[in-house]
């Protein structure tokens, strides 16, 4: 499918974040060195992403312990498992064709641009302005889908618990209000893109959206932070069952959100 560049004229302004990169480099390096030197890297506790808030003049760091590789990981359930929200054919095409292509194209771009694929993909996304549009689209595409599959489960707990539930209540007023605002972010994203719940530089929960395969990890994105939950609103994610009715897809998608996973992810960055 030739949909990658469908709305690419809507690229966010990259000048905004250029001056963040130098300032990000020192703490990124020192923190990584500390973690490696303390022997935790081999245990998978490695800090894969260190981020700056573009909105905050104090430019606080948000550090996550996620560590996304360049290969597609197995889908954690069968293609039909999410049928309450997404049909099996859509899942199969989405995972085995669309997402698989992002992974393959990412690996090819990484080779061409001398990216070390033993390091977390998060590191590349944080300085994606230094790389090609191909790497941006496919790096984002791969990262976003790897997160998307894990963010869903046939055994959804339907709502968050613990610290994430408390933070959603205090940040948005209630879980229902949060769902409405997040749904609106997905409905109102013009063309292809993603809706996000993310943690910003002040460790506050934020809702936003990005075009194409961009995400809040990218230095070129208009919203910046650590993504907790992403919703794919490209037509390939829902068109077979829902056709033009993106709001219906979003309404049903809540049935399969893996809040246990999202809550654990949240606790890793606060
Ligand atoms: Mn997709």
Same domain, 109 and 39: no
132: left (phi over 0), alpha (psi -120 to 50) or beta: beta
187 C-alpha vs ligand 1 centroid, how far in Å?
A: 15
Residue tagged 């794919």 (tokens): 232
Tokens at 28, concatenated: 């990124």
The count of structural domains within the chain is 2
47 — pLDDT class (breaks 50, 70, 90):
very low
Q: What percent of the chain has pLDDT over 90?
A: 75
Q: At what angle do helices 246-253 and 175-188 cross, to 10 degrees?
A: 150
Same domain, 160 and 56: no
Is residue 74 situated within a structural domain? no
Q: Which residues surround ligand 1, an ion (CB under 5 A)?
A: 232, 234, 237
Tokens at 92, concatenated: 């199969």
* Residue 51, pLDDT above cutoff 70: no
Tokens at 226, concatenated: 């650590």
Question: Which range is least confidently modeled, 54-58, 141-145, 214-218, 244-248?
Answer: 54-58
Same domain, 55 and 96: no
218 C-alpha vs ligand 1 centroid, how far in Å?
A: 18
Residues 6+ apart with CB under 8 A from 50: 24, 27, 28, 31, 32, 61, 62, 63, 126
Same domain, 39 and 96: no
Q: What percent of the chain has pLDDT over 70?
A: 76
Same domain, 54 and 120: no
Any idea what the CATH number is for the domain that residue 225 is in?
3.55.40.20
Same domain, 116 and 235: yes
The pLDDT mean for the chain works out to 83
29 C-alpha vs ligand 1 centroid, how far in Å?
A: 32
176 C-alpha vs ligand 1 centroid, how far in Å?
A: 25
**Domain that residue 242 falls in:** 88-267
Same domain, 153 and 205: yes
Same domain, 33 and 101: no
β-pairing, 205-211 vs 193-199, is: antiparallel
Contact 134, 102 (CB under 8 A): no
Is residue 78 situated within a structural domain? no
259 — pLDDT class (breaks 50, 70, 90):
very high
Is residue 120 situated within a structural domain? yes
* Residue 30, pLDDT above cutoff 50: no
């Amino acid at each position: 499918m030739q949909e990658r560049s469908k709305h690419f004229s809507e690229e966010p302004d990259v000048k905004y974040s250029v001056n963040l990169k130098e300032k990000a480099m020192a703490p990124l390096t020192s923190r990584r060195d500390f973690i490696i030197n303390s022997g935790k890297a081999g245990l998978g506790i490695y800090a894969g992403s260190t981020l700056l808030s573009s909105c905050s003049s104090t430019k606080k760091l948000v550090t996550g312990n996620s560590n996304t590789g360049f290969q597609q990981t197995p889908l954690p359930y069968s293609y039909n498992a999410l049928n309450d929200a997404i049909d099996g054919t859509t899942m199969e095409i989405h995972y085995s064709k669309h997402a698989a292509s992002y992974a393959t194209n990412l690996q090819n771009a990484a080779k061409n641009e001398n990216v070390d694929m033993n390091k977390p993909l998060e590191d590349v996304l944080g300085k994606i302005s230094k790389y090609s549009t191909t790497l941006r689209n496919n790096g984002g595409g791969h990262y976003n889908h790897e997160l998307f599959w894990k963010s869903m489960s046939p055994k959804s707990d339907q709502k968050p618990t613990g610290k994430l539930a408390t933070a959603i209540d205090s940040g948005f007023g209630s879980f229902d209000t949060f769902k409405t605002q997040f749904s609106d972010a997905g409905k109102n994203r013009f063309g292809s893109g993603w809706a996000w719940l993310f943690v910003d530089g002040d460790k506050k929960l934020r809702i936003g959206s990005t075009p194409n395969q961009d995400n809040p990890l990218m230095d070129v994105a208009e919203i910046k932070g650590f993504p907790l939950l992403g919703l794919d609103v490209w037509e390939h994610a829902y068109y077979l069952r829902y056709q033009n009715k993106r709001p219906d897809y979003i309404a049903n998608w809540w049935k399969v959100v893996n809040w246990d996973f999202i809550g654990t992810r949240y606790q890793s960055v606060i």
